[in-house]
């Protein structure tokens, strides 16, 4: 059965100092986070990779990532274009960047016809998450039954600044009932704090690791159209993000999302200061035998 890994790699990377953080080396032989993600996904059973990128980084991205991935599995490239929209609002004329992660996934509608997992390019999720995701995608279920990998908040924080996480609630059977995009979560004195409130380290959060069937594209087109139609003429910054999209169709009863819990630790290059920690993290994984010295 064909299953795809969709990698969102079109982010501008402003918090990383404006560089292309998606191709910043973290491994001992120049490996980047995407290399480890693809390695884990193929090991779990995925057999196709779809890269969502910007046209201006295509050359570098193909040289650093794409060319070697093409030797391992089927690969497609999708360009997140700010003009590729289901509806064009007046404010689009002055827009400089794309419209968020929902828009990034909308860009894949012609390239992905099979069950798929979506991840961020600059996030390392751990091996367990890919195995759980693939097992779910190849299982028997309805076309509107999706899933997310839920991480413990305490395993997903940065020491170098605030992060945004989709804080989740699930029912007794493990189905998502609510998700709230929560901004400005910081680690203070060993605990997570947002808006002056302490959050439990065991809180389940989304790290943009979603298992979808192709049926999700109809929902995305509808919600993205509604979002764009509602924008003021002078709004050039608003974005539509996947947790918002998922939360809406779950609460309105158009689909279900199973929460697949992972105890793995997330690491990622959100800030430039994160890079040394991430490099040391992979060094330790290699010493433990989780990965070979050279992928």
**CATH assignment at residue 131:** 3.90.550.10
Statement: residue 12 has pLDDT above 60: no
Beta bridge partners of 257: 146
Question: Residue 124 to residues 3, 22, 180, 181, 240: CA-CA distances in angstroms?
Answer: 20, 11, 22, 20, 23
Q: What is the DSSP letter of 123?
A: E
Has residue 211 been placed in a domain?
Answer: yes
Please report which confidence band the pLDDT of residue 68 belongs to, taking 50, 70 and 90 as the band edges.
Answer: very high
Has residue 237 been placed in a domain?
Answer: yes
Please tell me the predicted confidence (pLDDT) of residue 19. 63
**DSSP three-state, residue 272:** coil
Please tell me the predicted confidence (pLDDT) of residue 196. 84
Please report which confidence band the pLDDT of residue 17 belongs to, taking 50, 70 and 90 as the band edges.
Answer: low
Beta bridge partners of 169: 178
Has residue 216 been placed in a domain?
Answer: yes
Distance CA 92, CA 236 (A): 7
DSSP helix, strand, coil percent of the chain (3-state; round to 5): 35, 25, 40
Has residue 187 been placed in a domain?
Answer: yes
Residue 166: other Cβ atoms inside 10 A:
24
pLDDT tens-digit map of 131-150: 999 999 999 999 999 999 99
Has residue 280 been placed in a domain?
Answer: yes
Distance CA 156, CA 164 (A): 10
Has residue 295 been placed in a domain?
Answer: no
Q: What is the DSSP letter of 78?
A: E
- Residues 6 or more apart whose CB falls under 8 angstroms from that of 63 comprise none
Has residue 127 been placed in a domain?
Answer: yes
Nearest partner of 208 among 269, 124, 149, judged by Cα:
149
Q: What is the DSSP letter of 264?
A: P
Statement: residue 97 has pLDDT above 80: yes
CA quadruple 49, 85, 23, 67: dihedral sign? positive
Q: Identify the domain containing residue 216 by its residue range.
A: 4-287
The domain total for the chain is: 1
Distance CA 124, CA 98 (A): 23
Has residue 293 been placed in a domain?
Answer: no
In the predicted model, what is the mean pLDDT of residues 61-83?
A: 94
pLDDT tens-digit map of 235-269: 989 999 999 999 999 999 999 999 999 999 888 87
């Amino acid at each position: 059965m064909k299953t795809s890994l969709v990698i969102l790699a079109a982010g501008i990377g402003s918090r990383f100092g404006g560089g292309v953080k998606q191709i910043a080396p973290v491994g001992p032989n120049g490996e980047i986070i995407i290399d480890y993600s693809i390695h884990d996904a193929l090991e779990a059973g995925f057999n196709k990779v779809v890269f969502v990128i910007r046209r201006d980084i295509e050359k570098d991205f193909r040289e650093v990532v794409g060319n070697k991935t093409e030797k391992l599995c089927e690969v497609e490239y999708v360009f997140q274009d700010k003009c590729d929209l289901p509806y064009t609002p007046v404010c689009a004329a002055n827009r400089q960047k794309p419209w968020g992660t929902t828009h990034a996934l909308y860009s894949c509608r012609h390239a992905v016809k099979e069950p798929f997992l979506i991840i961020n390019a600059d996030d390392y999720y751990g091996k367990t998450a890919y195995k759980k995701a693939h097992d779910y995608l190849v299982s028997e279920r309805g076309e509107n039954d999706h899933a997310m990998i839920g991480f413990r908040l305490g395993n997903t924080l940065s020491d170098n600044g605030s992060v945004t996480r989709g804080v989740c609630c699930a029912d007794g059977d493990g189905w998502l009932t609510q998700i709230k995009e929560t901004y400005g979560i910081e680690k203070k004195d060993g605990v997570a704090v947002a808006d002056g409130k302490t959050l439990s380290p065991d809180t389940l959060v989304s790290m943009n690791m979603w298992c979808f069937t192709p049926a999700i594209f109809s929902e995305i087109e509808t919600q993205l159209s509604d979002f764009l139609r509602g924008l003021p003429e002078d709004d050039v910054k608003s974005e539509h993000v996947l947790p918002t999209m998922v939360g809406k169709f779950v609460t309105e009863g158009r689909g279900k999302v199973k929460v697949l819990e992972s105890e793995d630790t997330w690491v990622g290059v959100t800030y430039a200061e994160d890079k040394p920690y991430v490099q040391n993290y992979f060094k330790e994984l290699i010493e433990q035998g989780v990965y070979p010295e050279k992928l």
